Amino acid sequence: MNTHIPASASTGNAGNAPGPAARSPSRTPSCRPSRRVTDATTRMLHWLMALSFTGAYLTAESEHWRLVHVTLGYTLGGLLVARVLWGLLGPRHARLTYLWSRLQGLPAWLQSLRTAAPAWRQGQNLLMALAVALILALILPLTLSGYASYAEWGGGGWGGEWLEELHEFFGNAMLAVVLGHVGLIAGLSLLRRTNQALPMLTGRVAGSGPDLAPKNHGLLAATVLACVLAFWSWQWHTAPQPVPGATGADWHGQHDD
């Protein structure tokens, strides 16, 4: 016997598959609402900075990878300039004034720790903003001390060693802040049961509402990446060929020529 069951009735029968009209759009993963909170240019600058610092730190003690270390140091300095310009001229969510406005709530939050019920979620966001601000602030002395040491501004002897120790100090300070930043993201991901690093990869978070970043600025992000890759290529092709048996100091002299 062929019995026709309407779509409205089939939804209540577990033994029958619901028809197309009975499928709820909310059950489709692709229909889940999301909003953009970070544009592509901000994300590109963030990850290029992370890559440059990580590579430079790992190659700091190797004469064999000296060119890579120097190139990544130059890149980090250039990216800082680009990030500052983006923070002055870019969209509101990427502005340095927006970061500063978030940090202005830090003193009040520290005072709230004396109370019985401090705002822990606000404190987590403040710590994230503080880590970002410290990273941006440390890049300038890190790159300047590295260039001064590489260019031997202090001459030989004590002056050169002092610059190298200063550069190493800022490098280790930067590493400590970066590790704290990564640890905070991991901890918040476990606490809030959501991947807190995902918005810096996709630019979006789940939920309805207006986009914090109305425009993605994908073309500008691609331009930033192209400029960095072009600089790396130029550094590679203009680097002097290593002389067999030459020391790091000999390579340095050839590069200065």
Domain ranges of the chain: 39-112+119-239
Residue 222 has what pLDDT?
97
Greatest Cα pair distance, the chain, in angstroms, is: 99
Residue 80 has what pLDDT?
97
36 DSSP β-pair partners = 204
Q: Kindly report, residue by residue over 107-116, the tens digit of the pLDDT.
A: 877 777 777 6
CA distance 180 to 182: 5
- Mean per-residue pLDDT for 66-91? 95
- Closest Cα to residue 139, out of 95, 228, 78, 67? 78
Taking the domain 39-112+119-239, which CATH number applies? 1.20.950
User: Is pLDDT larger for residue 210 or for residue 146?
Assistant: 146
Extract the tokens encoding 180. Answer: 């704290």
Q: Residue 22 above 60 pLDDT?
A: no
Per DSSP, the three-state class of 235 is helix
Q: Residue 24 above 50 pLDDT?
A: no
- Mean per-residue pLDDT for 168-197? 90
Lowest mean pLDDT among 91-95, 198-202, 251-255: 251-255
Residue 171 has what pLDDT?
95
pTM attached to this predicted model: 0.77
C-alpha of 9 from chain center: 52
